[in-house]
């Protein structure tokens, strides 16, 4: 029997955890701090971000408070969970870094943008909240980097803004829709950038897929994407994460460096 952690999202019984905690479960039981236990059902899962929503039959749970501002490097944080089945444990650390990619969701073509922390996270912590000093949830503990399977100072959490977007869609529709551009991309080589007379950062378009939204908007091989909706882009992972947050069917502002083209707008598809 497997175990993990979770946290209350809404008073009417929605609980958030990692997909990998519950994806092979035949039955899910939630145990609360007051000793009460309840069976839960799956509302929806998103393997691409490792987020899952389950629900218990309740109406007056105490919902967690979500942070509205992103964490900063050096900020004090607390990790809650059940490491090695030691329930309702808590550890303290700091935000060591942000925007980390581990490749743990690569097989599922997933989206990674982890908060790195040195708060102790061990097997059983997965799905638990990472909070700031005000008790606001800033992320969800998800993974560690370790050769032994035990914590060695490298813990990773999904940022709360990513969690919230996925959770709200799962609760509303049971699925998550993401933007799709239909392009192959790679990190921009500085030498290639100089051939365009450009010395900044960006992502190189190596091949627009025929019939895709980018190709239909006139994007060509060799174009350099520099911004999406005003946000700078410097790596393929950054671009994928930004596109994933865009609602399909709407128009967005894209900044390019290319052959006589500096600004383009197109509509991502689901």
- Structure confidence by residue, pLDDT tens digits, 142-157: 988 766 666 677 899 9
Residue 66 belongs to some domain of the structure: no
Residues 203 and 247 in one domain: yes
Residues 153 and 120 in one domain: yes
Q: Which of 20, 46, 89, 91 is catalytic?
A: 20
Confidence of residue 253 (pLDDT cuts 50, 70, 90): confident
Active site residue 64: no
Q: Which of 14, 46, 50, 223 is catalytic?
A: 50
Local structure of residue 84 (DSSP, 8 states)? G
- Chain centroid, CA 83 distance in Å: 22
Residues 164 and 190 in one domain: no
- Per-residue 3-state assignment (H helix, E strand, C coil) for 120-189: CCCCCCCCCEEECCCCCEEEEEEEECCCCCCCCCCEEEEEHHHHHHHHHHHHHHCCCCCCECCEEEEECC
Residue 64 belongs to some domain of the structure: no
Give the CA distances from residue 206 to residues 17, 92, 240, in Å, rounded to whole numbers and listed in that order: 37, 44, 15
pTM of structure: 0.83
What SS3 class is residue 165?
A: helix
Residue where one domain finishes, among candidates 126, 151, 173? 173
Residues 80 and 155 in one domain: yes
Residues 189 and 165 in one domain: no
3-state helix, strand, coil in the chain (%, to 5): 15, 35, 50
> In degrees, to the nearest 5, what angle opens at C-alpha 185 toward C-alphas 210 and 256?
85
Local structure of residue 4 (DSSP, 8 states)? -
The pLDDT, as a whole number, for residue 264 is: 46
CB 89 within 8 A of CB 66: no
Residue where one domain finishes, among candidates 106, 141, 173? 173
Residue 191 belongs to some domain of the structure: yes
Residues 162 and 194 in one domain: no
Residues 158 and 221 in one domain: no
Residue 71 belongs to some domain of the structure: no
Please report, for the domain that includes residue 238, its CATH number: 2.30.42.10
Phi-psi category of residue 56: left, alpha or beta, with phi > 0 → left and psi -120 to 50 → alpha? beta
Q: Could you give the CA distance from residue 118 to residue 79 in angstroms, rounded to a whole number?
A: 10
Residue 65 belongs to some domain of the structure: no
Neighbours of 173 (CB within 10 A): 10
What burial class does residue 111 get, using C-beta atoms within 10 Å of its C-beta: 0-12 exposed, 13-18 middle, 19+ buried?
Answer: buried
- pLDDT of 265 strictly over 60: no
Residue 234 belongs to some domain of the structure: yes
Residue 69 belongs to some domain of the structure: no
Neighbours of 205 (CB within 10 A): 23
Please report, for the domain that includes residue 29, its CATH number: 2.40.10.10
- Structure confidence by residue, pLDDT tens digits, 214-251: 888 788 888 888 888 888 888 888 888 888 888 787 77
Residue where one domain finishes, among candidates 173, 195, 219? 173
Local structure of residue 201 (DSSP, 8 states)? -
- Structure confidence by residue, pLDDT tens digits, 8-66: 999 999 999 999 999 999 999 999 999 999 999 999 999 999 999 999 999 999 999 99
Local structure of residue 31 (DSSP, 8 states)? E
Residues 98 and 187 in one domain: no
Active site residue 234: no
Domain limits for position 28:
7-56
Residue 30 belongs to some domain of the structure: yes
Active site residue 50: yes
Q: How many domains does the chain have?
A: 3
Regarding predicted confidence, which is higher, 123 or 172? 172
Residues 107 and 196 in one domain: no
Residues 102 and 26 in one domain: no
Identify the residue whose tokens are 């500096």. Answer: 262
The DSSP H or E segment spanning 43 is strand 37-46
Residues 92 and 139 in one domain: yes
């Amino acid at each position: 029997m497997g175990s993990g952690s979770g946290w209350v999202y809404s008073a009417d019984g929605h609980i958030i955890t990692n997909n990998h905690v519950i994806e092979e479960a035949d039955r899910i039981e939630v145990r609360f701090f007051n000793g009460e236990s309840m069976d839960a059902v799956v509302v929806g899962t998103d393997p691409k971000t490792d987020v899952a929503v389950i629900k218990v039959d309740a109406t007056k749970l105490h919902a967690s408070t979500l942070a509205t501002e992103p964490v900063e490097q050096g900020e004090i944080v607390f990790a809650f969970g059940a490491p090695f089945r030691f329930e309702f444990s808590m550890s303290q650390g700091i935000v060591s870094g942000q925007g980390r990619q581990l490749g743990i969701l690569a097989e599922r073509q997933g989206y990674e943008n982890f908060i790195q922390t040195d708060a102790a996270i061990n097997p059983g912590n997965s799905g638990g909240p990472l909070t700031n000093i005000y008790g606001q949830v800033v992320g969800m503990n998800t993974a560690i980097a370790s050769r032994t399977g035990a914590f060695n100072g490298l813990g990773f959490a999904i940022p709360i803004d990513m969690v919230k977007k996925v959770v709200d869609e799962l609760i509303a529709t049971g699925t998550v829709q993401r933007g799709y551009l239909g392009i192959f991309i790679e990190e921009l080589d500085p030498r290639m950038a100089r051939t365009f007379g450009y010395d900044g950062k960006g992502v190189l378009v190596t091949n627009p897929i025929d019939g895709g939204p980018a190709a239909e908007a006139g994007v060509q091989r060799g174009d350099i994407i520099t911004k999406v909706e005003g946000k700078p882009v410097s790596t393929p992972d950054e671009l994928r994460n930004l596109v994933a947050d865009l609602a399909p069917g709407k128009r967005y502002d894209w900044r390019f460096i290319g052959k006589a083209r500096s600004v383009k707008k197109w509509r991502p598809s689901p």
